[in-house]
Amino acid sequence: MLSRRDFLAASLANAVAMPLIGSAISSVAQAADVKPLLIDSHVHVWKHDPQFPFAAGRVVPPEDRTVEMLLDLMKANGVSRTVIIQVIHYKWDNSYLADVLKRFPETFKGVCRVNPEDPANADHLSKLVEEQGFRGVRLSPSGDADGDWIRGPLMAPLWRRCADLKVPMTVLAPVTRMPDVIPLIEKNPDLTVVIDHMADSPLDHPDQLQMLLDLARYPKVYVKISHMWSLSKQAYPYADSLEQVKRLFAAFGPKKLMWGSDWPICLDLLTYDKAVELYRDHFSFLSREDHEQVLHKTVQDVWSFGL
């Protein structure tokens, strides 16, 4: 039988312990409810505005896709930062995106475009980076003869300038173009190179993905696992595309992969909300640490948001 002294001591211990236990349980519950940090590595914006004219001959959707619209979507979906890629509607005029970066320097990083067939393209890049705050350039060689400039003499100085400026080189190209970027990567081993949209490697030709997997041996090459929705032959959440992502994960590892919504291009097939949900909620094959790497850490490593 407990003595009165033992009973009082035990009661006091329980009284102290119960709030601590309750606090611990509450902390665990809160941690389970916390959404992961999200940084979107790939969106576009544009606005029908005479101050920012579209390139001659471009067919532009009638709807605006402004930075203000993007900010509302980011807020609604818990996306803290975003990399904006210069949309082809403006071609080589980066003025609208430069204005966005000036107004929202903490929220966005911008990737510009320069004319790959202009002998002065390296100097244009320097001006965009040093005077307007862009953090990288995007090249888009097509898979046919029109894109053969990627093998031409103007590429070496542009890639070298990109390396000297210490900004990423982003490449949008079909997977069949991946062998063409290897000489440029090897001549610039310190340059960060980002391959967009899994190089749009077709799922019905799984052997072609090897041309992208071959780049995994270069330590500064990263891949956006975007365009799951456009590559897939299946319904959301695109299990067939996820199998391709798993192959990329096995080759590159989480530290060289990043997600991206490709808003508003994605709107043909899914909303921004569903695009975020796809990468946030349907990657159960990843550990928590690897998932966080893909959702925000890799893009921070490349674009230095400083979070």
- The model's pTM: 0.89
Residue by residue, pLDDT tens for the chain (307 residues) are 444 444 444 444 444 444 444 444 334 333 445 679 999 999 999 999 999 999 999 999 999 999 999 999 999 999 999 999 999 999 999 999 999 999 999 999 999 999 999 999 999 999 999 999 999 999 999 999 999 999 999 999 999 999 999 999 999 999 999 999 999 999 999 999 999 999 999 999 999 999 999 999 999 999 999 999 999 999 999 999 999 999 999 999 999 999 999 999 999 999 999 999 999 999 999 999 999 999 999 999 999 997 7
Give pLDDT, residue 35: 79
> For the sheet containing 257-258, what is the strand order?
38-43, 79-85, 108-113, 137-139, 169-171, 193-195, 221-224, 257-258
- For 138, phi and psi rounded to 5 degrees? -120, 135
Asked whether 215 and 221 are in contact (CB, 8 A), the reply is: yes
Residues 275, 1: Cα–Cα separation, whole Å: 64
What CATH architecture applies to the domain 38-303?
A: Alpha-Beta Barrel (3.20)
Domain ranges in the chain?
Answer: 1-34, 38-303
Reference 166, options 197, 188, 183; nearest CA is 188
CA atoms within 13 A on the CB side of 199: 29
The residues pairing with 40 across neighbouring beta strands, listed in sequence order, are 82
Q: Tokens for 268?
A: 């043909």
Q: Judging by DSSP bridges, how do beta strands 79-85 and 193-195 pair with one another?
A: unpaired
Asked whether 261 and 228 are in contact (CB, 8 A), the reply is: no
